[in-house]
Chains A and B, each alone.
Chain A
Amino acid sequence: MTSVSRETWRLNRRLLALAILPALALILAGCTKVEQPKGWAAPVINGDTIYLSIQGKHLVAVARNGGAERWRFPDGRTEKDIELEGIYGEPAVVGDRILIGDHGGNLYSIATADGSLKWTARTNGSLIGAIAVSGDLAIVGSGDGYVYAFALSDGAQRWRTALGDHIWSRPIIRDSLAYVPVLDGRLAALDVATGTLRAQPAFKASAGLPTTGTLAGNRIIVGSLNKRLYAVNIADGSTAWSFPGENWFWTTPLVDGDRVYAGNLDHVVYALNLADGSLLWQYDTAAPVRSAPAISGGMLIVASTDGVVHGIDAAKGDRKWATSPLDTNLYANLTLDGAVVYVQGENGAVWTVRPDDGSLAQFRAKP
């Protein structure tokens, strides 16, 4: 190669690099931009209406029979300035209103009749957990570390209490107390009327409690990021038992009789004895399990994040059926409605599954 052509090649190489760099920047931007929260709120059934969160951007009310859309919020006309940022907690239906919280930290009260907005309340952090209702109060934990109580009638803030770390769970209401799992590992107890933090020997795990617990008698069953599932005595905060998994417990445990069923991000669904936490059986789904299971007629239905729905014998842990992978991630809890289970995908599509044989039918196509 002559020196002239070498110089030309050097300049051409630089030109090529200059041309590639913008394209590379575009690709990198696509690979690395912020993942927009989509939400994983499960379908909620109320009467003849099902409320669905569609890709975290809309709450849609559809007919239970047939799936015809009745209204959606926001509709882009009357609520022009509202943009939902991902709905993670299941909506709460209270009388003629439905409450939703989004990742942007806003709580909305919407009329169930027509989807019109009644009021908005704001927090300074993401609302990941669902909303608890007690009396005339809506109680919700926020990513800013506070538990808020808003009046159901007009959204006025009645109290808020600092718990010191993110709250991604729904408060559990029992005997005028709200039990709140916190991401610093504590299970805090607040007075529902005033928000006063109860001074008691509090339960504290070595890592965060990311999910809503399940009340079982005088215990709360709750999973932790330290890979353990705990049964906590609510009277004194002591640990009744704990069970170790191989990864995070991030599903809301299902209690059925004397058993506890909990999925884990280690791909396994565990069935434990409610009394002492001993293992009854375990089932490998081959993918992380984030959504809470459902049970119907002795069949445990579990959705794994790879889009497969499994039917498992609740007594023995044997696989009875499994669907072929749906073309979406499954993070949302399963919703049992009599003879069918509603399964909502991350892409906004909804299916019904029959627990007895696993037959799948699409209820709503992805938008």
Chain B
Amino acid sequence: MITFLWDNILVNPMTNALIALDHALFGNFGLAILAFTIIVRALTFPLTMRQLHSTRAMSEIQPKIKDIQKKYKDPKRRNEETMRLYKEAKVNPLGCLLPMVVQFPVWIALYQVIRLTLAGAPENYVDLSQRLYSFAYIQHAVPVGNSFLWLDLGRPNIVLPILVGMSMWIQQRSMTLTNAATSPQQQQMNNTMLWMMPVMFGWFSLTVPSGLALYWLATNVVGIIMNGFVFGFGTLHPAKLFSFLPFRRGPGTTVAPRRTPALNAVQSQVTAEDGDTETRTSDGAATRNKRKNRRRGSGGGAPPARPKS
């Protein structure tokens, strides 16, 4: 039953769509893969944007959560303040998970689809024949061509895995720059993800048809562009991307996030132990009565830019 649903809801429709695209794009299967990737990303755009905004909002309120954890001794009160903060910022702690959960089976199905349509061995065409719809436009488009630029889309290629790894690293790095870690453990985790994911997917791309690797590359590029629109394209500057290198390291390795509704909506009260208060209003003006100086710099978020008067 599961196989039936999987095939008929995901794999078969995607298979036929990809073949139809190939027919429409002059029999160029590489272009069909690129177009299909863009279409899929467009269809999942609302979910992706929700994930990105949720991730960024969570990151922005992390310092305030940390402040709450420091200032409130009572766990109950701490939880209440934290949940109030989430509510005001309109952030769901699990919000970043749902889009990923929804998208994941789509990616798995796409893997199968590209494997089926490329059909490296003639035996695979027998399987493919059982999945095609009856439309002549699709039936007459088979077999699809394997060539795209210098690539044989049915065979692995050494260049594409490198591009896949690089593009994924750039995507991860730009996310890291905008979502600063709030603890050393989290920083370590971010660094692990930054290097492990590109290496893993680059290796994965070495073992599959280059048509699949092309799809991953296109997905990463689209992801980088989407991140740029959300977080700003400044994160793609080489000086920032490679700021971790010794000769590149300078003051501030993180990028100040844009002010968002989540940040603007929050008006937090941080109660110091000696009763001093700091109040920030939505226009960014700050008043401080008595406050110990806090160290600001690398590893922490830079203060949001105050609007010009």
Give chain A's interface residues, CB within 8 Å of chain B.
Answer: 2-4, 7, 11, 14-15, 18, 21-22, 25, 28-29, 31-38, 40, 86, 88, 103, 128, 166, 168, 183, 206-208, 210, 225-227, 247-248, 250, 265, 288, 290, 305, 329, 331, 346
Contacts and interface: CB of A to CB of B under 8 A. Distances in A.
B79 A2 contact: yes
Given A31-B112, A36-B121, 19 more contacts: A2-B75, A3-B75, A4-B69, A14-B193, A18-B189, A21-B200, A28-B108, A28-B111, A28-B204, A32-B112, A34-B156, A35-B115, A37-B120, A37-B121, A38-B121, A183-B143, A226-B140, A288-B126, A290-B126
10 contacts: A2-B79, A3-B68, A3-B79, A21-B196, A34-B155, A34-B208, A37-B122, A208-B142, A247-B129, A346-B123
Contacts of B126: 250, 265, 288, 290, 305, 331
A314 B79 CA distance: 80
B140 A38 contact: no
A168 B204 CA distance: 31
Interface in B188-237: 189, 192-193, 196-197, 200-201, 203-204, 207-209, 212
Nearest to B146: A143
A86 B193 contact: no
Contacts of A38: 121, 123
A32 B203 CA distance: 14
A34 B120 contact: yes
Contact of A35 (B82, B124, B200): B124
The residue in A18, A25, A32, A288 that gathers the most chain B C-beta atoms within 10 A of its C-beta is: A32
Contacts of B264: none
Nearest to B124: A35
A278 B68 CA distance: 84
B298 interface: no
Given A3-B82, A29-B204, A227-B139, A35 B120 contact: yes
Contacts of A166: 143
Contact of B122 (A4, A21, A168, A207): A168
B150 to A, nearest CB: 15
B103 interface: no
A35 B204 contact: no
A331 B129 CA distance: 14
Contacts of B82: 3
Interface string B99-132: 0000000001001101100001111111001100
B252 to A, nearest CB: 25
Contacts of B125: 210
Given A32-B112, A35-B123, A18 B193 contact: yes
